Amino acid sequence: MCSKREDVYRVVKAFASKGEWMNPEAKHYIKCLVRDFEQNGLNLTVTKKEEVQRLRAQIEELSLQYIHNLNDDSSCILFSEAELVGLPPEYLKSLEKAGNDRYKITLRSHNVLALLEFCQVGRTRRMVAAAYGKRCGEVNLSLLESLVELRHKYARLFGYSNYADYAVDLRMAKTSTKVFEFLEDISASLTDLATGELALLKDLKRKEEGELPFGIEDLLYYVKRVEEAQFDLDFAALKQYFPVDVVLSGILKITQDLFGLRFQEVADAEVWHGDVSVFSVFDLSSGELLGYFYLDIYTREGKYGHTCVVALQNGALSHSGQQQIPVVLLISQLQKGNGGHSGLLRFPEVVSLFHEFGHVVQHICNRASFARFSGLRVDPDFVEIPALVLENWCYESFSLKLISGFHQDITKPINDEMCKSLKRWRNSFSALKLKQEILYCLFDQIIHSTDNVDIVELFKHLHPKVMLGLPMLEGTNPASCFPRSAIGFEAACYSRIWSEVFATDIFASKFCDDLVNHHVGMQFRNKVLAMGGAKDPIEILSDFLGREPSINAFIDSKTKYSQ
Model confidence over 354-397: pLDDT tens digits? 999 999 999 999 999 998 898 888 999 999 999 999 999 999 99
The set of catalytic residues is 356
- We find that the CATH architecture of domain 137-230+427-563 is Orthogonal Bundle (1.10)
Mean pLDDT of 486-491: 84
Per-residue model confidence (pLDDT) at position 21: 62
The percent helix, strand, coil of the chain (3-state, each to 5) is 60, 10, 30
Region of poorest pLDDT, from 47-51, 241-245, 488-492, 503-507: 488-492
- Maximum CA pair distance of the chain? 80
Can you give the pLDDT at residue 499? 97
**Tens-digit pLDDT profile for residues 94-126:** 999 887 789 999 999 989 999 999 999 999 999
State whether the Cα torsion 244-250-253-258 is positive or negative: negative
Residue 485 has pLDDT above 80, yes or no: no
Query: What one-character DSSP code corresponds to residue 243?
Result: B
Model confidence pLDDT, tens digit, residues 318-354: 877 788 999 999 999 999 888 777 899 999 999 999 9
pLDDT at residue number 416: 93
Mapped onto helix, strand or coil, the DSSP state of residue 225 is helix
- C-alpha to C-alpha distance for 297 and 300, rounded to whole angstroms: 10
The helix (run of H) or strand (run of E) holding residue 164 is: helix 163-169
As a whole number of angstroms, the distance between CA 311 and CA 356 comes to 12
The residues with which 482 forms a beta bridge, in sequence order, are none
The span from the CA of 21 to the CA of 345, in Å, is 53
Q: Please provide residue 273's backbone torsions phi and psi, each rounded to the nearest 5 degrees.
A: -160, 150
Strands 277-283 and 96-98 turn out to be unpaired
CA distance 233 to 143: 44
Q: Are 281 and 330 in contact (CB under 8 A)?
A: no
Which of 491, 492, 482, 494 has its CA nearest to residue 66?
482
For residues 389 and 365, what is the distance between their CA atoms, to the nearest angstrom? 15
* pLDDT over 70 (residue 562): no
Distance CA 296, CA 334 (A): 9
pLDDT in tens, 227-264: 988 887 888 899 999 999 999 999 999 999 999 999 99
Whether 261 and 521 have beta carbons less than 8 Å apart is answered as no
Asked if residue 563 has pLDDT above 50, the reply is no
Q: What is the pLDDT of residue 27?
A: 87
Alpha-carbon span 191 to 433, nearest angstrom? 12
**pLDDT at position 560 over 80:** no
Every domain of the chain and the residues it spans: 1-42, 74-134, 137-230+427-563, 237-406
The yes-or-no verdict on residue 77 having pLDDT over 80 is: yes
pLDDT tens by residue, 266-324: 999 999 999 999 999 999 999 999 999 999 999 999 999 889 999 999 998 887 778 89
Amino acid at 40: N
pLDDT of res. 561: 56
Checking if the pLDDT of 203 tops 60, the result is yes
Query: Among 28-32, 245-249, 545-549, which is the least confidently predicted range?
Result: 28-32
Angle at 329 between CA 537 and CA 327, to 5 degrees: 70
Residues 6+ apart with CB under 8 A from 202: 214
SS3 97: strand
**Mean pLDDT, residues 505-512:** 96
Q: What is the mean pLDDT of the chain?
A: 93
Spatial CA neighbour of 34 closest among 55, 19, 53:
19
- Alpha helix segments (H runs only) across 366-447: 385-391, 397-402, 416-426, 430-447
The answer to whether residues 382 and 209 touch, using CB atoms and an 8 Å cutoff, is: no
Instruction: Look at the pTM and tell me if it is higher than 0.85.
Output: yes
- pLDDT computed for residue 44 by the predictor: 93
Q: How many CB atoms lie within 10 A of CB 130?
A: 17
Q: What is the pLDDT of residue 540?
A: 95
Return the pLDDT at 76.
93
**Position 43, amino acid:** N
Half-sphere exposure in the Cβ direction for 524 (13 Å, CA): 26
Q: Please state which of the four CATH numbers 3.40.630.30, 3.40.390.10, 3.40.50.1970, 3.40.50.2000 is assigned to the domain occupying 237-406.
A: 3.40.390.10
